[in-house]
Structure 1
Amino acid sequence: MLGSFKTRQNLEHPFRLFFLLAITGIIVALMPWFSVSFAPQYAGHFPLHWHAFAFIELVGGAAFAGFLLTALPSWCSYRPPLRYHSILLVLLLGVALICLPWPRLSSILINGFWLYLLGLAARYIVHTRSWHHASFIGVVSAIAALSIAYSLNPQAKWLHASVDVMIIGIALANFRVGRVLGNQALEDSGIDDEQFIPNPFYKNISALLLMLAASLSLLASEAVQGWLYLAVGMSFAARLQDWHDSRLLKRAYIRVYYAVSLSMAFGYMALGLVLLTAPQLFSFVRHFLAIAVYLLMVLTIMSIVGLRHSGLKLRFYFDTQLAMLLVVVAALSRSVLVIYYPSLMTLYTIPSVALSLAFIIYIARYQAIFRHHEPR
């Protein structure tokens, strides 16, 4: 009876189900890298883009569903029953994960997932007329469109653009998360007569520039893309000035948030410079963005939401900080170290082991939290 009650609770607060499904997706996405490192005789059995598709569509889908179906009911003050929607979305993602050996079928299922999630997000925003959150409809619409384009014509450019759009979504969410973190830092410092309000203009400029860059990455020249991505990186760097206050930076969770934001600024500036001066390094910088920005931001958001919506005080445990450091190690090995010391070790083994350990650490910590604290 108690188990049934907990299951029903988790279906009504589905971040727990989707975040755990995201971890499963990461392990499955790493299978080709593990195969190359430890069982090369099976490496040829994985379809093209297996790891990229799983990281972006399946892990990203689980993370987005978990976040949006937690945040939108709170932001819109509207909470209709979610359990049947949660079941259907989990089934779509789970079956898409199982069907990865058949890429066309998996991509069709993930298209259905994104369209269904889009309908749910639109329902919250339109029903409550919360138009200031309508940007999330745009983000999920763009992801769905790119997902459909990939299923019709499986080229890497659609996946690259999807990473950019997902980072836009996470950056928009980070604006609200950052406000919560900033005010938490002030509260933890005993300051109750001030409020932290990050600059919304920098948020809008960075999101619009990145959307423009993602759109033109599908058809513009490398030079045009380079200048745009350089501008994107600088706009994200401008957002950092909101955090240059010792009262904020003395908190570990603010320093982690700052480091993640810095990696975003650095990654896009590096992408712009590479497109302008050294296009042969494009893949390495793209992997840095996918790991040190996209996956690190996913881990950060999952950690914050997992605590806040389990009724716990915000903090980053030592093991959570270690997990984040391991993600950075994976990114540096796959994007920087491999340039100077090219080998299977730097290309596949270190990144796959580091990422696996990072998310196993997350699940070990947060599964215990989810088991002992009710969702809110």
Structure 2
Amino acid sequence: MDGTPAQKRGGIPRGISNTGPIVFSYGFRPFFLGAASWAILAMGLWMAAITSGFPVGGTYGAIEWHAHEMLFGFAPAVLAGFLLTAVPNWTGRLPVSGVPLLALLSIWVAGRVAMFLTGTIGVLPAAAIDASFLLSLLFICAREVVAGRKWKDLKVIAGLAALSTANIFFHCSVISGDTTGTATRLAVSAYTMLVIIVGGRILPSFTRNWLNRFGRTDFPVPYDGFDVTAIFGAFGTFALWTFWPESKLTGIAALAAATLHSVRLMRWRGWTTHPEKLLLVLHAAYLFVPLSFIGMAAGATGLIDQISVLHLLTIGSIACMMLAVMTRVSRGHTGRLLTSSARTNATYLAIIAAAIIRPLANVFPATYQVMVSVAGVLWIVAFGLFLLEYAPMLTHAKRGARSTD
């Protein structure tokens, strides 16, 4: 087993467990496996619902269930895997593993079962069970950041708090018979802000380190006032879009944000990393951020509908970045070289293609059903390929040597 002995701090066992299954030795292992598996199963159920009328979602209905399980089922599992691995590195504290990690995973699984059985167990119990996962993850991460006195990382905790709020808001909207649009946009905004914040931390750092290996000095521009302006510009734009998605002011702000984040991405010099697709894909995923802002501006003026905007954000800005991070973290933390295989590259191509095709389906109504089906298949292929290659890594002991950034 890898790591140090488990310890206790503040009553919560921590450390990389040296007993029990290896899959519970670190947060990324079970949660990346769970996220990819649920991405495939939930998408398969959704496609069955829209093509053959297969009953799914219970009291929530198929559309609301699909939206919920992508935003508050699949995505939080990826986020948990990342944060439970990254936060210990940020704070210098030991990670949650072993039995506590199994307990947290069980809460997530219980939420998926509860949301599938809303018609049987009732909406209120299902909502309570589901909401407990993000609240638990928020408590764990907030406690670690505060205990480690890493105050700059509180903005990540704020993103988690927004997601927890959005999830509860989503449930309340369904229970009260209201639309879930605002709750959905709040969640999408929170995820994309996390992409913007964390991406701004890892992309230039990884790129600089990779270039440095080859003796190059054409490094990304260091974090400065421009990045702060871009982040606050995005925050303001998402605030407008969450509550007034079709406002002219939202469209103007979105165009400004698209410009800022296009420049920000250029400053990171992602094209220099083209020989290494494991790194290049992070820049490609971030490219969907300014593209999504452009889509948001188009949605505000009625050129495209809000469903297209949502899918540009959810599959492009969020899922592409998540899959890129999942592959990198899985390789790096299991002792593999930080280089992508042909199968990993195919994974990237599949998710990027889905991110392009699905938003366009609403633009071309004559081929809507075909494009939605193709995008769904590509999504399943992307996460299926991930499981095929990375499940053995995630369920076996770490190799002796690890390439680090």
Query: Same fold per TM (> 0.5)?
Result: yes
Q: Secondary structure at the match of 2:363?
A: helix
| Candidates 87, 94, 113, aligned match of 1:98 | 113
- What is the identity, as a one-letter code, of the residue corresponding to 1:49? E
Q: Is the 8 A contact 2:110 2:130 kept in 1?
A: no
Equivalents in 1 of 2:134, 2:97: separation in Å?
16
Aligned counterpart, 1:114: 134
8 Å CA contact 1:330–1:351 kept in 2: the answer is yes
Aligned match for 1:276, one of 276, 297, 301: 301
Instruction: Quote the offset at 1:371 in angstroms.
Output: 3.8
1:67-86 alignment, distance < 5 Å: 67-79=82-94, 81-86=96-101
Q: 1:312 aligns with which of 329, 336, 351?
A: 336
CA contact (8 A) 2:115 2:130 kept: no
Q: Report the Cα offset of residue 324 of structure 1.
A: 1.6
CA contact (8 A) 1:93 1:110 kept: yes
Equivalents in 2 of 1:199, 1:14: separation in Å? 29
Letter in 2 for 1:126: V
Do structure 1's residue 64 and structure 2's residue 65 form an aligned pair? no
Deviations 1:134-159 (A, max 9, x none): 11111111111111211211312211
What is the alpha-carbon distance in structure 1 between the residues aligned to residue 42 and residue 366 of structure 2? 22
Bigger Cα displacement from structure 2, 42-51 vs 310-319: 42-51
AA paired with 1:136? V
1:231–1:269 contact (8 Å) kept in structure 2: no
Offset, 1:266:
1.1
| Structure 1 stretch displaced more, 291-300 or 220-229 | 220-229
Q: Matches of 2:325 and 2:91 in 1, distance apart? A: 19
Contact residue 57 and residue 115 of structure 2 kept, 8 A = no
Per the TM alignment, residue 239 of structure 1 is displaced from its structure 2 partner at its CA by: 1.2
> Which residue type is aligned with residue 301 of structure 1?
V
* Greater percentage in helix: 1
Q: Which amino acid in the other structure matches residue 113 of structure 2?
A: I
Residue pair 1:34, 1:352 contacting (<8 A) in 2 also: yes
Q: Which residue of 2 aligns with 1:261?
A: 286
SS at match of 2:301: helix
Shift of 1:38: 4.9
Deviations 1:160-205 (A, max 9, x none): 22011111112222223213421342144244x7865643434433
Identify which range, 249-258 or 315-324, moves more after superposition.
249-258
Q: Is it true that 1:334 corresponds to 2:347 in the alignment?
A: no
1:286 and 2:310 are equivalent in the alignment: yes
- The question of whether the paired residues in 2 share the 8 Å contact of 1:161 and 1:218 is answered with yes
> Matched residue of 1:314: which SS?
coil
User: Which one of 159, 163, 171 corresponds to residue 196 of structure 2?
Assistant: 171
Which deviates more from structure 2 when the two are superposed, residues 202-211 or residues 154-163?
A: 202-211
Q: More displaced, 118-127 or 83-92? A: 83-92
**Partners in 2 of 1:345 and 1:90 — Cα distance?**
35
Deviations 1:77-120 (A, max 9, x none): 11155334322221111011112231544432232111111111
Aligned residues: 373
Corresponding position of 2:7: none
Structure 2 vs 1, CA of residues 6 and 24 (structure 1 numbering), >3 Å: closer, same or farther? Answer: farther
CA offsets per residue over residues 228-276 of structure 1, 9 Å max, x none? Answer: 2222222221211223376444433343222212122112112113212
Give 1:63 deviation, angstroms.
0.9
Give the fraction of aligned pairs with identical amino acids, expressed as a percent: 20
Contact map agreement 1:189 1:247 (CA 8 A) in 2: no
Is the Cα contact below 8 Å between 1:260 and 1:296 reproduced in 2?
A: yes
Q: Is the 8 Å Cα contact of residues 326 and 358 (structure 1) preserved in structure 2?
A: yes
Tell me if the contact between 2:169 and 2:183 (Cα under 8 Å) persists in the aligned partners.
yes
Range moving further from structure 2, 51-60 or 314-323: 314-323
Which amino acid is the alignment partner of residue 164 of structure 2?
A: A
Long gaps (5+) in structure 2: 3-16, 175-179
The 1-side partners of 2:220 and 2:268 are apart by 10
